[in-house]
Amino acid sequence: MTPRKLPATLRFMLAARRSELLGLEDLTRTCELVTKVSRLVHALQKERGYSNIYLSGSDPRRLQQLDTFSQDVDSAEREVREALEAMDLDSLHGGDKTRLYSRIAFALYSLDELPGLRRRIREQRIALADATAALVRLIGGLLAVVFEAADTAADPDITRALVALFNFMQGKELAGQERAAGVVGFAQGYFDAERVERLQQLIEGQERCFATFVRFASGEALTRWHALCDDSLSKQVAQFRDIALRTSAEAKVDQQLCELWFELQTRRIDAMKAVETQLEWDLLERCRQSMEQIRKELDSHRLLLDRLAELGTTSEQAKLFSVQARELDSPPADGMTDAVERSTLELLQLQTQRLQRVNDELKEARQALNERKLIERAKKLLMEQYDLSESQAHTRLRQAAMDQGLRLDDLAERLLASAAGNAPARPAPRPHGRR
Amino acid sequence: MTPRKLPATLRFMLAARRSELLGLEDLTRTCELVTKVSRLVHALQKERGYSNIYLSGSDPRRLQQLDTFSQDVDSAEREVREALEAMDLDSLHGGDKTRLYSRIAFALYSLDELPGLRRRIREQRIALADATAALVRLIGGLLAVVFEAADTAADPDITRALVALFNFMQGKELAGQERAAGVVGFAQGYFDAERVERLQQLIEGQERCFATFVRFASGEALTRWHALCDDSLSKQVAQFRDIALRTSAEAKVDQQLCELWFELQTRRIDAMKAVETQLEWDLLERCRQSMEQIRKELDSHRLLLDRLAELGTTSEQAKLFSVQARELDSPPADGMTDAVERSTLELLQLQTQRLQRVNDELKEARQALNERKLIERAKKLLMEQYDLSESQAHTRLRQAAMDQGLRLDDLAERLLASAAGNAPARPAPRPHGRR
């Protein structure tokens, strides 16, 4: 009995909001997975650290310690696998999960190599550098899952929270790699030119990641992070870095510093974990709030629909209403009908404005991820074209950016554009022709 | 019996491809809707044209003609509504339909105003300009659905086909508006400064749209388009345009030209419709091909899974296989197992590379849509800030772009960025500070 007009329009308005809600529920599940991945990454970083200590010293007491951390990894891995098992891969969700699922498949593939890797470590049948590299790859695969989750989220607030978390995790991972690099250098008593270079890159990388984290994080997590940066732990780490960078084959330091460095960096990384836990909590809280908000709005849309249905039951009103639907140019015979008409259009306009805002905010938040993608891809290009190590590629890219007074990501973009245009990719491309 | 490793990895690899397929099936349904919308737009353009003729002349024979075209619209509208009815809005599709559904709701809202509008036209209770404006808005709402479909499609080939179709439809719509503007001018015997300006904008707008169409279209549609551009119809339209632009209050032309202009432009628009139909066909063909391709790939993934399942049934092979899974560092005891291992990794790597390529291609195709979005938003900003008409805002934007030697979309981007930064938006912003 209700006129044809409003139901069809409202049906799609409701469907639009419902689609948003379903997307958000799905995103919330992805975020829960991300928090589990974050715990697994932390456990793997610990196992990597103690594997390095074990491989560099072969103290039998270390083995027991290592086993404990391996068990922590196993339990965190089980949680991740359970969350993955619980995902309904056969559901008809139309949302494009292609990239996320591919990243997960890659991470799983690497995770399955862990038992073999552990055996080789325990039997000391693997070089420290190779063991570290394998675990760096494994952790990198897990971080890629978090990156993809951030890059595909459709809610700006949640995207911001994911960008903050991803950058923090990445910064913490570089801190873990710095710990490992320091263990090797201090165990030898000094850092050669290549290791100094590597150490500097890891320190710079951390600074970049944490700067992005600071841009996107808020509240408690940020307060905790600033407190951590100001405390004595960070100052001691800075002193140790200075020592490391001043060593040479001629100016060795006591190898006992190795243990101290490791303990100090471990305490720093554990303190970071507290910030990370706060970020995880913030992320899930964001999901909860966004869902509550959208459910509320969906309810108010439903209220409107109900009002129309009510009108439809009274034949007098229904008649009035369908006259109104045909006689759009005549003045409304009933204030209520007119109000309903108007509020439909208002709701539509509000929704359009909101979607525009959401899109702008998403674009801004994803920009930080895009910069990272560009730099990684430019590095890879240089590695392939000039047969460089990642570290060498990074140095080359950074040097070229400094020479040309460009931001790293701007240089990376030009480099990739020039390569895509089939021109020979050069670390120092022309200053014009950005696209 | 199969080892734990490959199933979990493969399960997500398969899920990734399946997600792609589901997304594609959904996109195909959207494309089918788009082709129906395209037919409705064409019918509405015809109804608008004959409404204008009827309103400007009130020849009773014209009324009958108009009724026929209204019936064509009704039948095209029914088809669109049926397609919308058939859409399963309650399904658990996680894909974000928010923007698409919102656009559809808006279009439906406008469609429902059509009966009232028609009555006013028939009773000659509406000015020609207002009737045209209402129908321009309605068609604009339908075009926005096509735009959104293009902007949210996840397959680069289909996105390109949608970008081609959208720009062609938009160009044809501007041709329809040019026909209407010409009818008004020729009926009066001349074009004043404002109408000349408007006519020029509509001609330029068509050129921009068709240039983008040419960039993204291919094959038969392009051949037909070039043939249309070269034929006598296009030359005659060009002559008429010249005449129109040279008229003035002092140099009027015969009002009989009005009918000739209308007939000529109508033939041109009908010829465009043939190109558009080809584009629709291309679009659906693209969908079919992409689906076939992805189904094939999904089958090849399934084949791999089947091979693993086969291995699992023979206990000897299964044992061998699970040893293999644990002893990753030892040489493979069985060539086949090794081959399966390797092909999993290869498939994963191929998939990653392919996703990267897809992303790059999508980005490129969407760039054309983004340019349009920027220009539209900058125009709206100028209209609000300086209380301008759309036509005035366009003139101002174009003039500023010419003065500064910038592309229209680059200027629009700067303008919007400057407004977002709370600086006063100026049609001539600083040449630096793009972001």
**pTM for this one?**
0.82
Residue A12: its chain B contacts at CB < 8 A? 84, 89, 101-102, 104-105, 108
Cβ contact B327–A89 (<8 Å): no
pLDDT in tens, B95-154: 578 889 989 998 998 999 999 999 999 999 999 889 999 999 999 999 999 999 998 888
Confidence (pLDDT) at B308? 59
Confidence (pLDDT) at A212? 94
Which of these ranges, A78-87, A170-179, A331-340, has the smallest mean pLDDT? Answer: A331-340
Model confidence band, residue A309 (pLDDT cutoffs 50, 70, 90): low
Q: How far is CA A33 from the centre of its chain?
A: 12
Confidence (pLDDT) at A416? 87
Q: Is B421 on the interface with A (CB under 8 A)?
A: no
Which of these ranges, A13-27, A76-90, B22-36, has the smallest mean pLDDT? Answer: A13-27
Mean of per-residue pLDDT scores for chain B: 83
Confidence (pLDDT) at B364? 85
Confidence (pLDDT) at A72? 97
Confidence (pLDDT) at A1? 39
DSSP state of B331: P
Query: Of B79, B91, B82, which is closest to residue B42 (Cα–Cα)?
Result: B79
Using an 8 Å Cβ cutoff, are A406 and A399 in contact? no
For residue A324, the chain B residue with the least C-alpha distance is B116
pLDDT in tens, A329-357: 333 344 444 555 556 777 777 778 888 88
Half-sphere exposure of B191 (CA within 13 A, CB side): 25
Confidence (pLDDT) at A342? 58
Over pLDDT 90: what percentage of chain A? 47
Mean of per-residue pLDDT scores for chain A: 83
For residue A25, the chain B residue with the least C-alpha distance is B94
Residues in chain B predicted with pLDDT less than 50, given as ranges, are 1-5, 94, 312-337, 422-435
Confidence (pLDDT) at B31? 94
Rounded to whole angstroms, the Cα distance separating A68 from B188 reads: 91
Which of these ranges, A278-282, A390-394, A418-422, B431-435, has the smallest mean pLDDT? Answer: B431-435
pLDDT in tens, A121-142: 999 999 988 999 999 999 999 9
Environment class of residue B271 by beta-carbon count within 10 Å: exposed (0-12), middle (13-18) or buried (19+)?
middle
Residue A102: its chain B contacts at CB < 8 A? 12-13, 16, 348, 351-352, 355
The structural domains of chain A, ordered by start, are 9-293 (no CATH), 314-420 (1.10.10.10)
Burial A221-241 (b: 16+ CB within 10 A, else e): bbebbeeeeeeebeebbeebb
Confidence (pLDDT) at B125? 93
Half-sphere exposure of B144 (CA within 13 A, CB side): 20
pLDDT in tens, A219-241: 899 999 999 999 999 999 999 99
Confidence (pLDDT) at B22? 84
DSSP state of B329: T
pLDDT in tens, B285-340: 999 999 998 888 888 777 766 665 555 444 333 333 333 333 333 333 444 445 55
Confidence (pLDDT) at B352? 80
Rounded to whole angstroms, the Cα distance separating B434 from B406 reads: 12
What are the structure tokens assigned to B93, written together? 């599709």
Confidence (pLDDT) at A315? 39
Region of residue A212 (left: phi > 0; alpha: psi -120 to 50; beta: else) = alpha
Confidence (pLDDT) at B431? 38
Model confidence band, residue A90 (pLDDT cutoffs 50, 70, 90): low
Query: What ipTM is given for this predicted complex?
Result: 0.77
Q: Is A305 on the interface with B (CB under 8 A)?
A: no
Confidence (pLDDT) at B317? 35
Residue A100: its chain B contacts at CB < 8 A? 16
Residue B155: its chain A contacts at CB < 8 A? none
